[in-house]
Amino acid sequence: MKLIAGAAFEFQAPGRPGAMHRARSMAKVIYAIKMWLFRGQFKMTISEERGIRNMATFAVWIYLKAWLTAHVSCEAPLNDFQLMGQLLKYPHTAVSAATSKKLELHLWYISEQLVGLALFDSRVLPETKKLVLKAMNEVVPDHPPKRPRVDAAAFLGTKGLEQFCTANSKRLFQQLRLPEAFLTKDPADWEDDESFKKASNVARGLAVINDRAERGVALIQDFNKKLTRDEDQLQYLLQVVTDHRRQFPDCAKKTLMAKTDD
């Protein structure tokens, strides 16, 4: 099972070109739950029944919430932080070890830059936001790794998201060109601040999907060295194909007619 941490996967629209999406992982979860519910209607071995039970239980307790909320950009840092804590405390030792190790590879939303998105999460307490701001203003920060390692003390201790924040976390505001006037005010008063509202709208509008990367990989796999071996011509070809797919996302007659009318 592929854990989804800070990245959502969409269903592929009919006729839309590109990579295959990971919605099938959710289909497997649904099948597992159905098999467990109707296990009395067909025969399974003891090991098969145990495996289906473990998968269905993990999905209901942990996986479904993480999967359904993964598309919300500003909630991603706290979601990942809480998810890792849940995985480390999961009572099934083998499942806990396997899933926490997998999630360790997908902790970019609590990296020192993206952890700043938590400032726009209404679930994060004002006291925690103050600690995040304090860490962002440290003159000599203790830089954590780009992708934090799994450390039980970090996820099960008394500290929160502020431990992943450094002075580099402010780069998020420069990169997204977010207004910073509200940062000097008390986090409890941010909701009424116009600069905070503008910054929050931008942050919440971020597309939190890995779909673009998958489509890029699929595109180069489809056309690499098939029509040309010249690198410059290949880059031109990819741009033409991408632009064509943007203009004609499907082969429906109404789409073609709409472009003809333009």
Q: What is the pLDDT of residue 189?
A: 92
Q: How far apart are alpha carbons 84 and 81 in whole angstroms?
A: 5
Name the token pair of 142: 């203790």
Contact yes or no for 232/220 (Cβ under 8 A): no
Place of tokens 């830089």: 143
Instruction: Give the model confidence (pLDDT) of 239-251 as tens digits.
Output: 887 887 778 777 6
DSSP string, 10-69: PPPPTT--SPPPTHHHHHHHHHHHHHHHTGGGS---HHHHHHHHHHHHHIIIIIHHHHHH
Per-residue pLDDT tens for 36-59?
999 889 888 999 999 999 989 999
pLDDT digits (tens, 9 = 90+) for 184-205: 999 999 999 999 999 999 998 8
In what helix (H) or strand (E) does residue 226 lie, and over which residues does it extend?
A: none
137 versus 145: which is more confidently predicted?
A: 137
List b or e across 233-261, with b for residues whose CB sees 16 or more CB atoms inside 10 angstroms.
ebeebbeeeeeeeeeeeeeeeeeeeeeee
Please provide the DSSP assignment of 130-148 as one string.
HHHHHHHT-SS--PPPSS-
145, pLDDT greater than 60? no
CA 223 to chain centre: 28
- What pLDDT does residue 147 have? 56
Q: Alpha-carbon torsion 230, 232, 235, 241, what sign? A: negative
Under a CB-based contact definition with an 8 Å cutoff, are residues 165 and 124 in contact? no
Token output for 181: 């006037």
The H or E element containing residue 176 is helix 171-176
pLDDT at 171: 87
Distance between CA atoms of 243 and 154, rounded to whole angstroms?
45
Q: What is the pLDDT of residue 222?
A: 72
Contact 103, 6 (CB under 8 A): no
User: Residue 5: is its pLDDT beyond 50?
Assistant: no
Residue 213 has pLDDT above 70, yes or no: no
- At residue 256, does pLDDT exceed 60? yes
pLDDT band at 216 (very low <50, low <70, confident <90, very high): low
pLDDT of residue 101: 86
Among the residue ranges 12-26, 114-128, 156-170, the one predicted with the least confidence is 12-26
- Is 83:5 a contact under the CB 8 Å cutoff? yes
Distance of CA 9 to the CA centre of its chain: 9
Question: Whole-angstrom Cα distance, residue 262 to residue 260?
Answer: 5
pTM, two decimal places: 0.68
Say whether pLDDT at 126 is over 90: yes
Which residues neighbour 16 within 8 Å (Cβ) at sequence distance 6 or greater? 249, 250
Instruction: Give the 3-state secondary structure of residue 161.
Output: helix
* Contacting residues for 249 by C-beta, under 8 A, at least 6 apart: 13, 15, 16, 255
Instruction: Provide the mean pLDDT of the chain.
Output: 79
Enumerate helices (H) and strands (E) in the chain, giving the number of each. 12, 0
Instruction: Identify whether the C-beta of residue 200 lies closer than 8 Å to the C-beta of residue 74.
Output: yes
